[in-house]
């Protein structure tokens, strides 16, 4: 499939990059990325991936757009309040780029559906806000051998890491088990500065694009943290030994997906 003149113009700033080129842009158009959570992180990630021409983008979210979401979830507008977030996101993405296909999944992720949701995708973005979902996505991606980007944001801080099978630690290597309910503050309880989703969600999109086109080094084996109040980035090297991990290690003790008790962090 050759690019049309319109596509050559649309993607010209990508194609001119030696790390992308026409070849990389073609890879993007053939790639499939799944975004779990159309909120603070997923919204900016979805916008950039749509604009970048990622051919198939899936979005999973069970929620409807709420007024309190609009401070940071920039893919939704005031007129979308009450609409399923996946629908609102799809409309915005298709308005930006009619070349792409957006698949919507108006559901929560559970141990029952997560393998099915991720199976057709090349790269997964974890844009969820709660630890049961984060552990579930990690374990499912490890078991299905899918690369994914983990991210979290709270107050004026954010962090992310990338997992690629066989290329370094998974989320559970670093954080063994979800914290008990209400043990660590959540966005609803603690707040989050709106632009933080833009900073960290955009970096998740960046990792997806780099993975697809094969450019540079991914955040595998590192956790990148950002403190906006101090305007400081810190790239933490993670211990490279994954052999003892309960899910990605040599002798995994977690061989089935777990639905942990949901912590209280609705965005309402």
Partner 1 sequence: MRLTVAGKTKDYEDGITVAKLIELENVETPEYVTVTVNDEFVESGDFGNTVLKDGDTVEFLYFMGGGSIAQHTDRN
**Residue 93 sits in the site that holds partner 1 (CB under 8 A):** no
Residue range at the interface with partner 1 (CB under 8 A); choices 3-11, 20-28, 208-216, 256-264: 256-264
The neighbour count for residue 199, using CB atoms within 10 Å, is: 17
Those residues whose C-beta lies under 8 Å from the C-beta of residue 72, and which sit 6 or more positions away, are 39, 40, 43, 192, 193, 194, 195, 196, 197, 198
205 contributes a contact to Zn ion by CB under 5 A: no
Work out whether 80 is an interface residue with partner 1 (CB under 8 A).
no
Q: Please give the Cα distance from 78 to 95 (Å, whole number).
A: 16
* Binding-site partner at residue 248 among Zn ion, partner 1, none, CB < 5 to 8 Å by type: Zn ion
Closest contact distance (angstroms) between CB of 54 and partner 1 is 19
Per-residue binding string, partner 1, 102-121, x by CB under 8 A, is: ------xxx-----------
Q: What are the angstrom distances between the C-alpha of 99 and each of 102, 114, 192, 259?
A: 10, 27, 33, 36
Beta-carbon contacts of residue 54 (< 8 Å; ≥ 6 apart): 28, 29, 31, 32, 33, 100, 208, 209, 212
Q: Residues interacting with partner 1, by CB under 8 A? A: 36-42, 60-63, 73, 85, 108-110, 126-134, 136, 151-154, 157-159, 174-176, 179, 183-187, 192, 196-197, 200-201, 223, 234, 236-241, 259, 262-268
Q: Residues interacting with Zn ion, by CB under 5 A? A: 170, 172-173, 245, 248
């Amino acid at each position: 499939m050759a690019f049309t003149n319109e596509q050559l113009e649309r993607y010209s700033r990508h194609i001119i990059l030696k790390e992308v080129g026409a070849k990389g842009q073609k890879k993007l158009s053939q790639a499939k990325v799944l975004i779990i959570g159309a909120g603070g992180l997923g919204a900016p990630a979805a916008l950039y991936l749509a604009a970048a021409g990622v051919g198939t983008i899936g979005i999973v979210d069970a929620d409807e757009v709420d007024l309190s979401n609009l401070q940071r979830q920039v893919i939704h507008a005031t007129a979308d309040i009450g609409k399923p977030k996946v629908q609102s996101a799809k409309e915005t993405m298709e308005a930006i780029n009619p070349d792409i296909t957006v698949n919507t999944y108006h559901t929560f992720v559970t141990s029952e559906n997560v393998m099915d949701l991720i199976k057709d995708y090349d790269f997964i973005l974890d844009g969820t806000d709660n630890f049961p979902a984060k552990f579930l996505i990690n374990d499912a991606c490890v078991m299905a051998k899918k690369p994914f980007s983990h991210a979290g944001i709270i107050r004026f801080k954010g962090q992310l890491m990338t997992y690629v099978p066989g290329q370094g630690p998974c989320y559970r290597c670093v954080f063994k088990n979800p914290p008990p309910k209400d043990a660590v503050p959540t966005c609803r309880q603690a707040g989050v500065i709106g632009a933080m989703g833009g900073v960290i969600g955009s970096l998740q999109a960046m990792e997806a694009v780099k993975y697809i086109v094969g450019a540079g080094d991914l955040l595998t084996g590192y956790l990148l943290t950002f403190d906006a109040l101090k305007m400081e980035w810190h790239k933490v090297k993670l211990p490279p030994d994954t052999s003892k991990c309960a899910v990605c290690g040599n002798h995994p003790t977690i061989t089935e997906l777990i639905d942990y008790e949901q912590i209280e962090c609705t965005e309402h």
